[in-house]
Amino acid sequence: MVPRYTRPVMAAIWSPENRYRIWFEIEALACEAMAEYGAVPKEAAKVVREKGDIALAAFSDADLARIDEIEAETRHDVIAFLTWLAEKVGPESRFVHLGMTSSDVLDTCLAVQLVQATDLLLKDLDDVLAALRARAFEHKHTLTIGRSHGIHAEPTSFGLKLAGHYAEFVRNKERLEAARAEIATCAISGAVGTYAHLDPRIESYVAERLGLKPEPVSTQVIPRDRHAAYFCTLAVIASGIERLSIEVRHLQRSEVREAEEFFHPGQKGSSAMPHKRNPVLTENLTGLARLVRSAAIPALENVALWHERDISHSSVERNICPDATIGLDFALARLSGLMNKLLVYPDRMAANIESLGGVVHSGEVLLALARAGLSREDAYRIVQRNAMATWTKLGTPECRTFRENLDADPEISGRIAPDVLDAAMNSRQHLKNIDALYEKVFGEPGPAL
C-alpha cells in the first residue's frame, strides 16, 4: 500500500522489526517449553531468553543488514535469522528451533501479526460505529426522501439511513471477530506436521502464551482456508465502506446537496474550476474498497497448496497481508472521521421531498383508496394516472401538484375525505415506527422528538 494510504500504527505491525521480535518470541517460548518437558537444559533456555531479549531490545538497522547478508547466501529467511540469533546468543543457540521447521515460526508469526492487525481494525470499526450512532441519533427525526432505483420513493428518516449502515457495521464487526478467531492459531508441529521431533505440549505452551489456539492439523503450514476466510471478510467490510461512500457521494451531487464532506479551509477542489467542492474522500474510499476486495481471489487461490505444502502462498501474503489490512485500516479511519464531520442539510432534504409535487405519497394514497373500497387494480390505475400527470409536467408552468390532480379526479371525488388525503400526504407518518426501529438496531429507542 502506498504511503499516502498508510497509517504508521498499522505499518509497524508489518515491519521487519516486529516480525523478528515475534520470531524470537516464538523460538524463546518453544525453547522454554522444551526445557519444561525435558528436551533442552533449563539453563540453556534461560540464556536464550536473556541474551535474545537483549539483542532484540537493541535491534538496529545493522542487525537488519546482517540478516539480509546471511539470507543472500542461504536464500532462506528463517535460517538467516537463526544464524544471526546464534551470533548473539552463543553456543546455547544450538537448543533453539530444535526439531522445528521454518513454517512453525513463519505461520505462527503471521497469526500473531494478523491478530495484532485485526485488533486495530476492530478498534477502527468501533470508531465507525460510534460516529454512525451519534449521527443517527442526531438525525433520528430529520425527514429525507427515501430512494429506490435512484427515484424518489417515500419519506424516511436520515437517522434511519445511518442506522442501517450502523447495523451493517455491527455485522461487520461480528464477522471480523469470527475471522480473528479463524486466524488465531499456532503451529509448532515440525516437518509435515507429525510432531515426530517435537512434543505436542510445546505447541500448547507457545500457543497459550501468544493468545492463540493450537492448529488441529498443521501439515507444516497452517491451512490457508483460514486466511482465505479472513481476506473474504475484509472484502465484505470493504464493500460496506463502499456502500456508505456511494451514499455520501450521491447526497453531495450538485442536484441533491443533502450532505457534504467537510471542506478544509485552503482546500482546492479543482485546478481549473475554483467553484468545485468534490466528495473526494468518499471517492477515495470507493477505490480503496476495490483494492481491499482484490485480495480475496488470490487468498482463495492460495488454499489449494500441493500436498503438505508448497510456498506459492508466500509471495501473495507478503503483499496482501500488509496491503489489505493497511488499506482497510486507513479506509475505516477516514470513514469515521468523515462521518463525524459530515455536513448535513436538513432544509435541503425537506425541499427535495417536496420537489416532485407530492407524488412520493402515492403509496399511502393507494392504501387509502383501497381502504375506501376500491379494488387494488383500480386504485393503482387511478393513483398512477394522477401521479404521472404531475411527474411529466414537473418544472413547467402547467404542472399541478399530485394533490391538485387527485382533488380534480372524478373517479376519486366523494370517495375519500380531504383529511384522509391530508394524513396520507403527511411525511411525518413515516416516522411512526422510528422508536421501534432504533430499538432493534441500538437496543434503545434513541432521543425523543
Catalytic sites, residue numbers = 149, 270
Of 22, 10, 2, give the one whose Cα is nearest residue 104.
22
Is 129 among the residues that bind a copy of itself (CB under 8 A)? no
The cell for 136 is: 443517527
- Comparing CA positions, the residue from 108, 114, 105, 111 lying closest to residue 85 is 105
Q: How far is Cα 43 from Cα 92, in angstroms, rounded to an integer?
A: 9
Q: Distance between CA atoms of 131 and 147, rounded to whole angstroms? A: 23
**Largest separation between any pair of C-alpha atoms in the chain:** 102
Q: Does 127 contact a copy of itself by CB under 8 A?
A: no
Q: Does 132 bind a copy of itself (CB under 8 A)?
A: no
Pairing state between β 213-214 and 185-186: parallel
Interface with a copy of itself (CB under 8 A), residue total: 172
Q: Which one of 29-37, 107-115, 269-277, 404-412 is the stretch in contact with a copy of itself (CB under 8 A)?
A: 269-277
Nearer to a copy of itself, 9 or 350 (CB): 350
Provide the minimum distance between the beta carbon of 106 and a copy of itself in the complex, in angstroms, as a whole number: 10
Pick the closest to residue 251 from 331, 345, 339, 135 (CA basis).
Answer: 345
Stretch that binds a copy of itself, among 23-31, 42-50, 120-128, 316-324 (CB under 8 A): 316-324
Query: Nearest 10 degrees: CA dihedral of 115, 333, 141, 371?
Result: -60
Q: Strand, coil or helix: what is 212?
A: coil
Stretch of 24-32, 58-66, 110-118, 427-435 contacting a copy of itself, by CB under 8 A: 427-435
- With beta carbons less than 8 A apart as the criterion, state whether 174 and 238 touch: no
Cα 43 from Cα 163, distance rounded (Å): 59
- Cβ proximity to a copy of itself: between 123 and 171 the closer is 171
Q: What is the C-alpha to C-alpha distance for residues 441 and 445, in angstroms, rounded to an integer? A: 9
Q: For residue 414, what is the DSSP state?
A: T
Q: Does 394 bind a copy of itself (CB under 8 A)?
A: yes
Q: Which of 300, 344, 399, 420 binds a copy of itself (CB under 8 A)?
A: 300
Residue closer to a copy of itself, measured from CB, 4 or 62: 4
| Residue of 122, 130, 256, 399 interacting with a copy of itself (CB under 8 A) | 256
Under rule CB under 8 A, which residues in 354-383 are in contact with a copy of itself? 355-356, 359-360, 362-364, 366-367, 370, 375-377, 380, 383
In angstroms, what is the minimal distance from the CB of 277 to a copy of itself?
A: 7
C-alpha span between 66 and 10 (Å, rounded): 25
Q: Measured from the CB atom, is 58 or 74 closer to a copy of itself?
A: 74
**Quick one: CA dihedral 35, 38, 42, 44, positive or negative?**
negative
Closer by beta carbon to a copy of itself, 57 or else 275: 275
Torsion angles phi and psi, residue 160, rounded to 5: -65, -35
Report the residue number, 73 or 119, with the smaller CB distance to a copy of itself: 73
Interaction of residue 262 with a copy of itself, rule CB under 8 A: no
Q: Is 145 in a helix, a strand, or coil?
A: strand
Cβ nearer to a copy of itself, comparing 4 with 449: 4
Could you give the string, one character per residue 59-88, with x where binding to a copy of itself holds by CB under 8 A and - elsewhere?
Answer: --------------xxxx-xx--xx--x--
Question: 187-206: which residues touch a copy of itself (CB under 8 A)?
Answer: 190-197, 200
Other beta carbons less than 10 A from residue 432's beta carbon: 8
Residue 420 touches a copy of itself, criterion: CB under 8 A: no
Query: What DSSP element (H or E) covers 156?
Result: strand 151-157
Residues from 147 through 186 that contact a copy of itself (CB under 8 A): 147-157, 160-161, 163-164, 167-168, 171-172, 175, 178, 182
x/- contact string, 215-254, with a copy of itself (CB under 8 A)? -xx-xx--x-xx-xx--xx-xx--xx-xx-xxx-xx-xxx
Burial of 287 (0-12, 13-18, 19+ CB in 10 A): middle
Q: For a copy of itself, which residue of 113, 302, 325, 405 counts as binding (CB under 8 A)?
A: 302
Is 138 near a copy of itself (CB under 8 A)? no
Q: How, if at all, do strands 151-157 and 185-186 pair?
A: unpaired
Taking the least distance from each CB to a copy of itself, the nearer of 4 and 57 is 4
